[in-house]
Structure 1
Amino acid sequence: MLRFCLRVVPFAMMATTAAWAETPVKVGVLADMSGLYSDIGGQGAVDAVRMAIEDFKPAANGLKVDIISADTQNKPDIATGLARKWFDTEGVDVLVDLPTSAISLAVGSLVKEKNKVALYTASASSDLSGKACTPNTVHWTYDTWALSHGTGAAITKNGGKSWFFLVADYAFGQALERDASGVVKANGGTVLGSVRHPLDTKDFSSFILQAQASKAQIIGLANGGGDTVNSIKTAAEFGLLQGGQKLAGMLLFISDIHTLGLKSAQGLLLTTAFYWDYDEKTRAFGERFAARNGGKYPSMTQAGAYSATLAYLAAVKATGSAKDGAAVVKAMRDAGPINDPLFGETTIRVDGRAVHRMLLVEVKKPEESKKPFDYYKVVATIPPAEAFRPLNEGGCPLVK
């Protein structure tokens, strides 16, 4: 009997030690679950993070990963309150998505204070890797510099020299107008003016009338989500295109094209970080995602949530803990070029900017689309070195 017990005790100790060896990680997805950005993030962002966790195979890599999610309602105070509660009482280590620049700018200082991690995969202001950069944050997917240099430069070089901007009146829209105006002027164009509208505007009539009255060749839409869709619909109702003016969607998502339909959206040029039908790897992800999301294919922010989560989990494995957020972000940077399945070769700079290719695409005509969500023709692949702002130009205090 004694010999039997001596054999059992080491086995039990080994089982207990194996359980202790699993590093706990808790991921918090702060997204827009019910508002104008819910189609580009929302539950789809949560599903993308779950897919990343599943594909990482936490148990095989010594991790135990849990996930929690909540609706920010696109309000910085609500998002900050949720983040603080999660950090203080829920044991959350990392935030993903963060649907507006105002939310990300508000939450960023709290993340640094608590030494956690924020993966900005759905917010756009280039200030997040500029003057507002921190050692605890990574800006994935896209930003206002990349969007404006992709779309703005292409249109201006092709003859769209006079611009008027329709601007969402918060941090994202203001940053996009600033960056796009700089690109237009640098390429020989002029900015005739702009008008700002509140977030989640329902009636764009007065704003479109001001854009028409400007006589600008190009009306730049420095807004996103439902605001962009409503802007385009109102412009069609007022005959803006028939009057000779053109629209430039500075931030458009595949879900916006789906809502508008190809008949209304055909011919639009836009810059995106991800297209599900780009290559074999993106197609495989897109089809898996669609199978889980009622046939809806992933937006670039949902793809960003997947890829950033994968890179984060790999860094936690490398450091052996999720508790020192700055150390995990450093490990993400030190990993060197990541062969990401959705964004291609990706590196994370000291300013927190994830640098990867961007795509300049044109929306297909209805007769060119052969399958669901077959919406884009890739006009150009912008290499990583050209896709994002040079490191020394952003004003990030971490850049020496």
Structure 2
Amino acid sequence: MCLLLGPVGAFALDAGVTPPPAEVARSAPEWLPPGLFTRPLWVLETWQWLGLAVLLAGAWVLGQLGEALVLRLGSRAAGLTKSGWDDELLAAGRGTMRHVLGATVAAAGARFLMLPPAGQGAVDLGARSIIIVAAALFLLRFFTRAARFLEQKVARSPEGTDVARVRGLRTQLSILRRVVEVAVVLVAASLLLLQFEAVRNVGVSLLASAGIAGLVIGLAAQKSISTLLAGIQLSITQPIRIGDTVIVENEWGWVEEITLTYVVVKVWDLRRLVIPITHFLEKPFQNWSKVSPDILGTAELFVDFRTHVPSMRAELQRILAEESQGLWDGRAQGLQVTELSERTMKLRALVSASDAGKAFELRCLVREKLVAYLQAQPHGLPLLRAEASHLPLPDT
């Protein structure tokens, strides 16, 4: 028992003698019954187990109350400012602050229980671990909410009409957030593991052989590191952005998600292509909305030689003006004869739309309406011509 009674136990450990019973009695609450000084489990006495349970319950209650008080005061202070960052900071701290406050109260209150070094060390280890995890969770929440706040702020600003700028910002924030998430998780995991002596010894051993270990790890992780660097490079150069219309691997779709290692392309039929991020830095692809989402589209028709082209051109103008269903943006339209064959001529209708999706629908609409117009014309659709002649039969 000489090792378990705070200062008295420390004196006994240093002097190599057992403290007198009177000193042991003074080191513990004198009003407790003798039965609470037994050790039913581990190195703690019964009264210390009871005190620890009460302490943890009280720490949990104080953590809840402390967080509520801080959030209430912080909300009032945030209401006096025009910036939205303080609101995001408070929202990120909701739920994590109580754990930090509770762990701090528990670690401080455990000193009054006169726990032995092993018991106090376990309490401190648990408190530090909770604080590290809560701090990491707070940072992850804050960066996520901050990225969303910046996107919404730019979208509401006058610059929000610049679609390319908004897409570029979304891409940069998405990749930056993922880099921060990886860094926070790695740092938090390192701090958690470095609390243990065995892990610290392993770390020292690795540092001692840093040359060989670094070479082996570098060679093994070369592909992964290059992929991560490619993700960072893509966020800076921005050959693609979230929401861009692309043609990659002979598939047409939209960039739905960009991570540090791969890109998700949503195809028109709702399939998803998962493509390594290095593909967009090493191989050519089409980006239809790199500069602007505005795009031109064509609809081609084969008609008879007797078709009146000016009337077809007027019909196209009427369709775009009256029946385009808001798909035509009014920038460009035209109808031209682009090719002739021995039987037909090919007309190309040129239209414009604000994005690739609307351009596809507008092309289909124009093609359908022009075919219906040709069907109503006497000489619109292509005809196969044949000439019959009556030749005299040869004499037999």
Name the TM-score, length of structure 1 as normaliser: 0.20
Relative to its length, the structure with more helix (as a share) is 2
Q: Which has the larger radius of gyration?
A: 2
Relative to its length, the structure with more strand (as a share) is 1
Q: For CA contacts below 8 A with separation 6 or more, give which structure has more relative contact order.
A: 1
Name the TM-score, length of structure 2 as normaliser: 0.21
